[in-house]
């Protein structure tokens, strides 16, 4: 089960990143081009929200079964996790940043629906999804992924 979920999490990360980039670029083009917020402009951030929530669920399950997670190991001290850059990334930085990123995507999606004008909708998606993208990119375990 662990290997299957690890592969799923690794593959799904491409989908999350591709959708997030498309959502940010689409919001930027919509804002700059002063377009009317249409069906496609709603579907892209909605699909991004869905794929990121699925990644969140898979990530939480992996967190409890991965051998890289040392919080539940009796032999590991908190200080030794913090001193080791790799352990710190998997045990703290990656999960925390990804969760914050997904929270921003969720807030951004919910806030954009309450805006009246097209430009305000595009701007809300651009800001929230854009910050989420930066945070997520900053704490992906690139070495393990490629």
H-helix or E-strand containing 53? helix 39-65
User: Max CA-CA distance within the chain?
Assistant: 58
CA neighbor of 8 nearest in space, from 67, 55, 66: 55
Nearest residue to ligand HEM by CB is: 59
69 touches ligand HEM by CB under 6 A: yes
CA neighbor of 126 nearest in space, from 18, 24, 37: 24
- For ligand HEM, the closer of residues 120 and 141 by Cβ is 141
Span 4-43, contacts to ligand HEM by CB under 6 A: 6, 9-10, 13, 16
Q: Contact region for ligand HEM (CB under 6 A) — 21-29, 52-60, 81-89, 120-128? A: 52-60
60 touches ligand HEM by CB under 6 A: yes
Alpha-carbon dihedral angle through residues 126, 98, 53, 59, given to the nearest 10 degrees? 160
Residues that bind ligand HEM (CB under 6 A): 6, 9-10, 13, 16, 52, 55-56, 59-60, 62-63, 66, 68-69, 90, 94-95, 98-99, 101-102, 136, 140-141, 144-145
């Amino acid at each position: 089960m662990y290997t299957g979920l690890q592969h799923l999490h690794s593959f799904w990360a491409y989908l999350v990143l591709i959708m997030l980039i498309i959502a940010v670029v689409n919001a930027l083009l919509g804002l700059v081009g002063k377009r009317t917020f249409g069906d496609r402009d709603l579907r892209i951030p909605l699909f991004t929200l869905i794929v990121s929530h699925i990644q969140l669920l898979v990530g939480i399950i992996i967190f409890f079964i991965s051998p890289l997670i040392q919080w539940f190991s009796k032999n590991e001290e908190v200080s030794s996790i913090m001193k080791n850059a790799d352990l710190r990334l998997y045990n703290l930085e990656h999960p925390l940043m990804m969760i914050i990123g997904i929270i921003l995507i969720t807030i951004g999606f919910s806030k954009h629906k309450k805006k009246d004008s097209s430009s305000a909708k595009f701007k809300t998606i651009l800001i929230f999804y854009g910050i989420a993208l930066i945070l997520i990119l900053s704490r992906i375990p690139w070495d393990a992924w490629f």
